[in-house]
Amino acid sequence: MSASPAVWPLEKEPEIGSTVVLASQGIRIWTAECRLASFGETMQLSCSDAATVENLRKQHRVAFTILGDAGAVQGNGMASVSNGPGSDSAAILVEPYRVSAGRETYELRLKGWTKMDDAPPPDTSRFAFWYQAFRLVTLPLSALPVLAGGAAAFAQGHLNAGTLALSLIGAVCAHAGANAAADYFDFKKGVDSSRALSSHLGALARERVDPEMILMAAFACFLVTALTGIVLLQIAGWRLLLFGLAGLLGAFFYTGRPVSYKYRALGELMLGILVGPIIVMGTYFVQTGGWDWGVFLISAALGMLISSISLVNNLRDMPDDRASGIQTLPMILGISRTKRLYYALSVAPYLAAAGAVIMQPEFWPVGLAVISVPQAINAIWALSSTEDDINQIREKALTNPYPLNSIRLHARFGALAVLGLVVAGIIRIVR
């Protein structure tokens, strides 16, 4: 799939030699004056200010104002520096994604420049805004592992509804905080763009709310998680701290500096661990105070499905991620091996569930998860029907979104596994 050419949308192109004022907000607010050296799909600027060059290495998203005879043109873009550090003069490349002159504003989307209609700023007091900001539609991905841990404890004769509710609140708030923090750090690093296939084109990506407000909302969620963790520590003991710290730090440092493991090809693995074994076994430990290898295999099954979601999402987004300067596992493995790993992650959970039943025969109703096999076949077929061509993969993703297929598989497999564990608990009571 090839995007439409980024033809300049305004009536007049800027003149070579025009003054371009850059502005950004990194550690501090700064501005710099440069000259337009060349113009095409990207603008090449000449700038001798070493401080500006260093700022752009840390903060790629910039605002610019082009001063010309026909009036000022304002816009936003992603900047990169074309030469090494320490040079007296640096060529700065800016790829505009939003420009405006007078009353006309255009935004660069996947299919090319689109004229934007005037719209009021989003109402941050409304639930709809925070539904999008926290991506609440994804929260079942962290709720199901909590329910799985609680259901496993119930199957073995242990269940405290109060502590299960606290575990659920803590896990969901950590997930919501991680979503908000990821949007903030992706925005700051320049990962989100209006042209990216998977970009969340919400208020933050369109720069219509203060980014720091989203970060503060993330911290508020993490605070709720920490408070619920403190209460649970009093109940379950200090060893729960190992699960709690791993989950809280893992959620923040997914994109948070200085770790930012999402950008270091570790996001797929760590997400599987955090939203699989950490949550499931942490919840199970709160309920029982112990460890069970059968439950661990169920947690690993859910973790592998979470990893498959992240893996196929990053496969689809390889061009956008590469352009943003981050590294993901598909970049290291390549398309063919990434596909094979995805197939394995979609099938292995059923083997893990079978292993759990072998280790804990009373878990036999977990076999209900086999009902989700058609969804696994559908997810595998959707990706296997593509060639090892990233353009074709991205083109087909528009009508058959691979991450959504994996999310549905996780939801069905997880719900059926939880149901099976509840059935196992009911059978134990009846007996």
Domain assignment of residue 5, yes or no:
no
Give 123-167 pLDDT, tens digit per residue. 666 767 777 777 777 888 999 999 999 999 999 999 899 999 999
Same domain, 105 and 141: no
Residue-by-residue DSSP string for 150-176: HHHHHHTT---HHHHHHHHHHHHHHHH
**Measured distance CA(331)–CA(288) in Å, rounded:** 41
- Of 83, 115, 147, the one marking the end of a domain is 115
**Measured distance CA(23)–CA(56) in Å, rounded:** 10
**Measured distance CA(76)–CA(24) in Å, rounded:** 10
CATH number for the domain including 190?
A: 1.10.600
Same domain, 153 and 107: no
Does the predicted TM-score (pTM) go above 0.95? no
pLDDT at residue number 144: 95
Same domain, 295 and 207: yes
Same domain, 42 and 172: no
Same domain, 139 and 97: no
- Where does residue 40 rank: exposed (0-12), middle (13-18), buried (19+ CB within 10 A)? exposed
Same domain, 238 and 366: yes
Q: How confident is the model at residue 199 (pLDDT cuts 50, 70, 90)?
A: very low
- Of 64, 87, 115, the one marking the end of a domain is 115
Same domain, 194 and 298: yes
Same domain, 52 and 167: no
Domain assignment of residue 251, yes or no:
yes
Give 307-336 pLDDT, tens digit per residue. 999 999 999 888 877 877 788 999 999 999
Distance from the Cα of residue 298 to its chain's centroid: 24
Same domain, 135 and 105: no
Same domain, 69 and 93: yes
Range of the domain at 319: 127-430
Give 278-299 pLDDT, tens digit per residue. 999 999 999 998 999 999 999 9
Same domain, 42 and 154: no
Domain assignment of residue 6, yes or no:
no
Domain assignment of residue 264, yes or no:
yes
Domain assignment of residue 278, yes or no:
yes
pLDDT at residue number 398: 78
The number of domains in the chain is 2
Domain assignment of residue 10, yes or no:
no
